[in-house]
A and B are shown apart, each in its own frame.
Chain A
Amino acid sequence: MANIQGLSDLLSRSYGNLSGAPDNIFFFKISSVSGNTGVASGAVAGQPLSCWRYDGFPCGNVSSIPVSGEIPTNQTIGALKFSDVSAGFDKYIIQFSVAPNLHTAAMGGTVLLYDRLYHRGGISTTDTSVQLFSSVPLTRNVSGIGNFAFLEVAPSATSNQVAWIGTTTVDASCEYVNSLGQTCSSTTIIGGTNFREADRVVFLGTSGPVGGIRAINKLRLSASTGAVATGSNTVNVVIGKPLAFASMKYGGSASWRDYITGMPGIPEIEPNACLAFIYYSNTTGGHGFLGMATAIQA
């Protein structure tokens, strides 16, 4: 941040001077997965939804997430692409604007842009034994400060199905490492109505000294959510770093975060960041949005 010397400096870099290398990134997401609109109909009003698989620009990623865990990057399918930062520079997002793409005027919602730091697939929602995670150290925001984690209901391929895990709501207890390096635990719920639908995001809480999440060690369910015959019966776990929120009050009307004229500070996009979206809609059903983000280096 200290690299940006003031508004003049920022505007000049936005124009392309001072090696600003500005990005102007248009994006959109529509409520379908590989052209299938039915699979994207499981969104729940007021609940966060992962857009990782949704069609649009960037395209969705329907591949299964490795059970061994991995570090997604800017080259990973599904990531919002931006130009590489030059050596000796840092990259900053300076504007972020989103408009909901819905067919009823009263609809709105909130979009969160985040860096998808780590994800791991294949976590059973019927197994009540301790499920251990292999260690994959973070390569971005490695301290964990500000990082959040969530469970992501994992559909299989692109089938037209809304619910993928069981109807019983159970506790999911998670052991994680916080930004101080301490081992902590927290519990959330998973399964049942509003917590079983395709691409549903269920945030993991924190306990003890709170500063962020560096790693997830293991997870255990209090009971099985119940097997769904045609379901995946699995969730992914994701660690992310929030970058920008945009809250949209009405359908069609954009919200914007302008870090040139508004505060707080200018978020840094770390090299090779995997930028992705979480969408909170105030309605149930198919959803989408479009928007634009700009970034500079300094």
Chain B
Amino acid sequence: MISSLTSYINNYSDYNSIQVAINSTAGDSGALASTHRATWKGATTTPYNAPATSRIYSTSSFSPSDIAYPLPFNLSSNSPPSSISIVGARINPQAQTIGTLILCDRLVETSGFNATATTPQNLNLPTPLLPRYTNGLGVFAAVEIGILIGNTAFTVSCEYVGADGTIGQTVPVTFGGPSNRSPGRFILLPLRPGCTGVSAITNLVVGGNTGIAGGFSVVLFKPLYMIPVCKVDNEIICDYISGNFIGRLQSISPDTFFMFLGHSNSTDYRMYGSLFINEE
């Protein structure tokens, strides 16, 4: 438990670092300047795909063959630890890349939708029960492109169960077309008035035939920290002493499944670094 500056510093010096494996190669076809991109697969040549299935993301139980880098913890001391906190990070942008990283807990995913069908799609829906943040409070929903979809822009929206248990509809957002079709694109879904989070997705509607069915998923995730990457020439120091690390200090589950949303100034998202995780 972090109860003072002293304990924060002491814990910080006893960190357990993990590698931030962000993006694959320069010129990744899915990367677009200033669009959101999920980087949870890390440094790998494995393509994004979207098999028709539902998944629960928990570090201790997740080992699908199509994932090279689930960004696991490397817990070393107590087992299980009584408390885990993220206390800072070091990020090194490459290739003159600046941008923003949003560190999230990826919770559940249902995939197998196509971008040509205009009737409601509910294959494998509703999404699985949330493994963490189970009431849905502060949990957000997004559509993630797995396999290239069409070049004609329409909209996508979902029916969902909110954190308060009521059913609502997300506001339609642009889907398909030049900026919203490539694997890895992560399209945030606006919630209905007064809604404070999502506990499940129950239905999905594509507003028109984008031209290529491709494949995509709906993902529920919890944003944890925001890391501005403002410099291109050296390491970005992120902690509660140096700054640049936005998000409350908090204890998180050992099963947290890290996902970075990359939000870059260029089409190259390559960055590397470490997260500092305190375990007690």
List residues of A whose CB falls within 8 A of some B CB: 6-8, 11-12, 14-17, 22-24, 26, 28, 30, 32, 34-35, 37, 55-57, 59, 61, 77-78, 81, 95-97, 99-105, 107, 249-256, 258, 260-262, 290-292, 294, 296
Write out, one digit per residue, whether chain B residues 214-258 have a CB within 8 A of any chain A CB (1) or not (0).
Answer: 000000000111111110000000001111111111110000000
Q: How far is the CA of A14 from the CA of B1 in the complex (A)?
A: 11
A104 cross-chain contacts in B, Cβ below 8 A: 33-34
Q: How far is the CA of A185 from the CA of B2 in the complex (A)?
A: 52
Which 5 interchain pairs have the tightest Cβ spacing? Answer: A254-B228, A261-B243, A8-B4, A26-B223, A35-B172
Q: How far is the CA of A260 from the CA of B244 in the complex (A)?
A: 10
The segment from B57-65, B109-117, B184-192 found at the interface with A is: B184-192
Q: How far is the CA of A23 from the CA of B179 in the complex (A)?
A: 33
Closest Cβ–Cβ distance, residue B29 to chain A (whole Å): 16
Q: How far is the CA of A56 from the CA of B240 in the complex (A)?
A: 29
B188 cross-chain contacts in A, Cβ below 8 A: 28, 30, 56-57, 290
Evaluate whether A101 and B3 lie within 8 angstroms (CB atoms) in the complex, with A14-B248, A292-B246 already known.
Answer: no
Residue among A24, A103, A294 with the most chain B CB within 10 A?
A24
A78 cross-chain contacts in B, Cβ below 8 A: 193
A24 touches B5 (CB 8 A): no
Neighbour of A30 across the interface among B100, B190, B241, CB < 8 A: B190
The segment from B16-24, B68-76, B122-130, B259-267 found at the interface with A is: B259-267
Evaluate whether A26 and B140 lie within 8 angstroms (CB atoms) in the complex, with A11-B5, A32-B171, A253-B229 already known.
Answer: yes
A254 cross-chain contacts in B, Cβ below 8 A: 99-100, 226-230, 246, 263
B98 touches A294 (CB 8 A): no
A35 touches B155 (CB 8 A): yes
B193 touches A77 (CB 8 A): yes
List residues of B whose CB falls within 8 A of some A CB: 1-6, 8, 32-36, 85, 98-100, 102, 138, 140, 155, 157, 171-174, 179, 188, 190-196, 223-230, 240-251, 263-266
A95 cross-chain contacts in B, Cβ below 8 A: 246-247
B248 cross-chain contacts in A, Cβ below 8 A: 14-16, 22-24, 294, 296
Evaluate whether A15 and B250 lie within 8 angstroms (CB atoms) in the complex, with A105-B265, A250-B98 already known.
Answer: yes
Give the residue name and chain of the B residue nearest to A97 (CB): B246
B98 cross-chain contacts in A, Cβ below 8 A: 250, 252-253
Residue among A7, A11, A95 with the most chain B CB within 10 A?
A11
Give the residue name and chain of the A residue nearest to B269 (CB): A252
A17 touches B34 (CB 8 A): no
Neighbour of A261 across the interface among B226, B230, B240, CB < 8 A: B240
Give the residue name and chain of the A residue nearest to B223 (CB): A26
Given contacts A37-B174, A258-B245, 19 further A-B contacts (CB under 8 A): A15-B3, A15-B250, A16-B248, A17-B3, A24-B247, A26-B102, A26-B223, A99-B100, A104-B34, A105-B266, A250-B265, A251-B265, A252-B265, A254-B263, A258-B243, A258-B244, A261-B241, A261-B243, A292-B102
A107 touches B34 (CB 8 A): yes
A253 touches B191 (CB 8 A): no
A102 touches B100 (CB 8 A): no
A14 cross-chain contacts in B, Cβ below 8 A: 240, 248-249
Closest Cβ–Cβ distance, residue A249 to chain B (whole Å): 8
Evaluate whether A256 and B228 lie within 8 angstroms (CB atoms) in the complex, with A34-B171, A59-B171, A97-B246 already known.
Answer: yes
Neighbour of B173 across the interface among A26, A30, A103, A258, CB < 8 A: A30
Query: Could you write out 16 A-B pairs with CB less than 8 Å apart?
Result: A8-B6, A15-B248, A26-B138, A26-B140, A30-B188, A35-B172, A55-B171, A55-B190, A59-B195, A99-B263, A107-B34, A249-B230, A253-B265, A254-B100, A254-B263, A258-B244
B243 touches A251 (CB 8 A): no
B33 touches A253 (CB 8 A): no
Closest Cβ–Cβ distance, residue B101 to chain A (whole Å): 9
A251 touches B190 (CB 8 A): no
B173 touches A32 (CB 8 A): yes
Closest Cβ–Cβ distance, residue A243 to chain B (whole Å): 15
A16 cross-chain contacts in B, Cβ below 8 A: 248-251
Evaluate whether A252 and B173 lie within 8 angstroms (CB atoms) in the complex, with A30-B188, A107-B34 already known.
Answer: no
Evaluate whether A35 and B171 lie within 8 angstroms (CB atoms) in the complex, with A26-B140, A251-B265, A294-B248 already known.
Answer: yes
Closest Cβ–Cβ distance, residue B243 to chain A (whole Å): 4
Q: How far is the CA of A261 from the CA of B226 in the complex (A)?
A: 16
B192 cross-chain contacts in A, Cβ below 8 A: 59
Q: How far is the CA of A228 from the CA of B169 in the complex (A)?
A: 34
Q: How far is the CA of A34 from the CA of B190 in the complex (A)?
A: 10
A57 cross-chain contacts in B, Cβ below 8 A: 140, 188, 190-191
A30 cross-chain contacts in B, Cβ below 8 A: 173, 188, 190
